[in-house]
Each structure stands twice: as C-alpha cells, then as structure tokens.
Amino acid sequence: MSKSSVISSLWPIGLMIILAGIYFASSEYTTHYAIHTRGIVLPGKVWELQRYADGNFITLLKDNVNGYTDHYNVTEFSRGDVVEFQLLKAIEENPLVKKGDTVGFIRSNEEQRKYRQLLDELEVLQSELLFFTTGLKPEDIDVSREKMKLAEQDLNTEVLLFRRNQLLFQDSVISQREYEVFENILRLKEAELHVKSAEFQSAITGDKPEQELLIRSKILQTSNQLEILRERLNYFTILSPLDGIIKKGVDLLTDRMQISVWDTSRLAVTIPIEVIDKKHIIPGNIVTFYSQSEKAQMSGKVVSVDNTVKQINNKQIVFATAELDDHLSLETMEELVEVKITADEITLKEYFIRMFNKTISR
C-alpha cells in the first residue's frame, strides 16, 4: 500500500479525533459570556423645569439609577396670561446649588393682578368694619342727636294736643273718628322718636350687628382666598430639590425652555440590549465602560433590566441600567461610552450555540 493511500485512509479518522477533542474541550472548558454594546452616561438624579407651548410649567424629579420618576408637578395658568421664568442672577454666576436653594421665579401677570385685587378688597372691608364698630364721625353724630331732639319735641307737643282733644272728646265736642285720628298721630310720633333714638344710639356705639356680621363674613372669605393664592404664589418660587449643578437650555425639537439640576454624586449608564441577550443579564453583573473623552476604563454593576421591548434600527431592544463605581467629569454626562457586560459563566459549547443563534436572529 502506498504512503498516499495510507494517509487518505487515516485522515477521516484524524478529523474525527480532532472534532471529538474539540467537542470534549467545548463541553469541559468554560468562559464568561460577554455582551458588547454602547451606553449613555446620565446623572444619578435629574430635576427638570420645563415650559410647554401652552405656557404651563412642569417639574420632574427623575432617579436614573433606580429608573423611576420620583416627583411630578404641573403648574397651570389661564389662557392669555403673560408668564415668564426668571433665573436667579447668582445662579447664572455660580451654577452649583444646594438642596433648598432658590433657583428662580415664575412671574404671572394675572396671578399678581388677582393678588393685588384681593389685598385691596380686604383693606376696604377692614375699613368698613372699623367704621361700623367705632361709630360715625362727630358731625354725623351731632346731626343724629338733633334729629332725636326734634322728634322728642314733636312728641311732647303731640302729647299736649292729644290730652286737650281727649277732654274735648269726653265733652262730646269732637267725634269718635276725629279722636282716633289724633290718637294715631300720637302713636306715629312715639314711633318716630323710638327710631331716631335707636339711630342715635347706633351712631355713638356702632351697634349694627347684621352689617357687622356680613362684613366679617366677607373678610373671612377674602382672607381665605388670599391664603390660597399665597400658597399658589409660593410654588412660583422655584427651589432646588437636589444638591447639584444647574443646566439651562432649549429643547430644539419642541422649542421648550428647560432648566435642570444634575446630581452627579451617583452616575447611571443606560444600555440598550438585544432581546435575545436579555435572559443572560441579571442585576449584579459586572460592567466595564470605556470613555473616549476620559481615555479611561471604568467599572460598575447592572442595577436593573427593563421589560419593555422597543424597536430600534430594526432590532428588538430592552434597556438595562448600570451604576458606575467611578466618578466622572461633567463633560462625560450624556456621552456615549463603550460597554462590556460580563454575564454568566458557560461552556465553550454553549458559547458557540449562543453566538450561532444570535447571528441567525439578525
């Protein structure tokens, strides 16, 4: 048998031995499954003040590490109101803020007009109450006293006339009807004196219980309206809910004004993951990042994996969130970084199967 014939008969056996060795090795030796992608660096927490086209303001407090909106508030204004936001001058000079620092003010012409109107109404009502509880002016009191004296004189005169007519009636000089007329006139004079006396007492004591009660009720109502408006105006003083740095700008797509406070004491990276790899990623997986601007490699861990599937560039994507262990400069915020997620440890055989499935899924 020639040498070439021997080789020809042995190479299939050798190939089988090599394949068997590879299969055995792939089943015995393990490696960590790694997912390579890109992510965007975000501040751990972001507070935003946005003004929409309808003039209303919205504030958001987002926790990028834990993936939820911690606070949401809408401040509405009436149509046609002139509203503007004024950033505090000190903030423009030094953008670093502490929690509770004043960031700026929202100015509303309509709300300020309502506030001034209510203040004026309250001042008028308080003056009216003072008028009714302290009595009239001295000259008005003198007029009321004279009217009472005149009514008293008229009554005294009418009493004398009535007594004389009473004698005439007893002597049958005047008729029953005439007597009753004189009697009614006397009663009218008595009632008139009673009214004038009451008016004089009211003038010197201010005793008008119905009017006073009405005015006090109006004062209470106006004061309550003022308190509600003050609380609303307090919302117009914008305070920072975070320690961080102020960022201001305009959303180019929507032309909305935006004021933000970035809390960079913690940093998050939002990472797009293909759906086929989602089952291999769990919280706690080690993540390695590379920043082009920093020219440095950093590390972190996966915090969460979202279950919402999105279609991006014809791929089904879910988003994972990782927290950086390292601190970065502000220039790296919103920067795209290279990401490597170290997932579970698998055999070479499982690795090749995953890569094959991943390739055909595309």
DSSP symbols for 313-333: TTEEEEEEEEEESS---GGGT
CB 347 within 8 A of CB 26: yes
* Within-domain flag for 280: yes
* Within-domain flag for 236: no
How many Å apart are CA 110 and CA 127, to the nearest integer? 26
Q: pLDDT tens-digit profile of 86-96?
A: 777 777 778 88
- Can you read off the two tokens belonging to residue 214? 């009405």
Q: pLDDT tens-digit profile of 76-87?
A: 555 555 567 777
Residue 301 scores a pLDDT above 90: yes
* Within-domain flag for 312: yes
Which residue bears the tokens 């499954």? Answer: 33
| Interval 243-271 mean pLDDT | 78
Question: What amino acid is encoded at 180 in this protein?
Answer: E
Which residue bears the tokens 């030796």? Answer: 29
Question: Which structural domain range is residue 305 located in?
Answer: 31-77+262-361
Position 92 scores a pLDDT of: 74
* Within-domain flag for 70: yes
Region of poorest pLDDT, from 1-10, 26-35, 241-250, 346-355: 1-10
- Can you read off the two tokens belonging to residue 228? 């509600």
* Within-domain flag for 42: yes
- The H or E element spanning position 179 is helix 176-205
**168 phi and psi angles, rounded to 5 deg:** -65, -40
CB 236 within 8 A of CB 122: no
Determine what percent of the chain is predicted with pLDDT higher than 70: 73
Which residue bears the tokens 């929202």? Answer: 106
How many Å apart are CA 320 and CA 343, to the nearest integer? 13
Domain count, the chain: 1
How many Å apart are CA 36 and CA 359, to the nearest integer? 14
* Within-domain flag for 55: yes
- Expressed in percent and rounded to 5, the helix, strand and coil fractions of the chain are 45, 35, 20
* Within-domain flag for 315: yes
How many Å apart are CA 305 and CA 287, to the nearest integer? 13
How many Å apart are CA 297 and CA 357, to the nearest integer? 30
How many Å apart are CA 256 and CA 4, to the nearest integer? 80
What CATH number is associated with residue 281?
2.40.30.170
* Within-domain flag for 120: no
Position 168 scores a pLDDT of: 79
